Amino acid sequence: MAARCPNASAHDTVIDLDLPAWLCIARVLRRVTRSHGRVRPDMAPDCPEQFDLSFLVYIARFPRAGRRRIEASLENFVGQRIRLRRPAEVWRFLQGVAGA
């Protein structure tokens, strides 16, 4: 998620993950199902995985509300913008970065 950056002129590239909401929701539900009540290695200590309906609603609404905020914050951005809309695009991008 993009945020306003007080030193935006120092940034030359934005990597914009614009994945479909349905895919994000499915992945959250899968993660919660697999890890509910346990702390995953990528989580903060003492922060077990839990189901959060408000988070799912946030994800579902993000393409409209959140995307507008991102577009507005990037309106005057003059650097390179890399928009990745599919998992395959993300994978190819990461492979390219790893190979560089």
User: Residue 5 domain-assigned?
Assistant: no
Average pLDDT of the residues of the chain = 88
10 assigned to some structural domain: no
pLDDT at position 37 is: 87
Domain membership of residue 41 (yes or no) is yes
List the domain range (segments joined by +) for residue 42: 15-99
Query: What confidence tens digit (pLDDT) does each residue in 35-64 have?
Result: 888 898 888 998 888 899 999 999 999 998
Cα diameter, the chain: 44
Give the residue with greater pLDDT, 10 vs 25: 25
The predicted pLDDT at position 1 comes to 44
Query: In the chain, how many domains are there?
Result: 1
CA–CA dist 62, 60 (Å, integer): 6
Residue 14 banded pLDDT, cuts 50, 70, 90: very high
Distance CA 63, CA 18 (A): 8
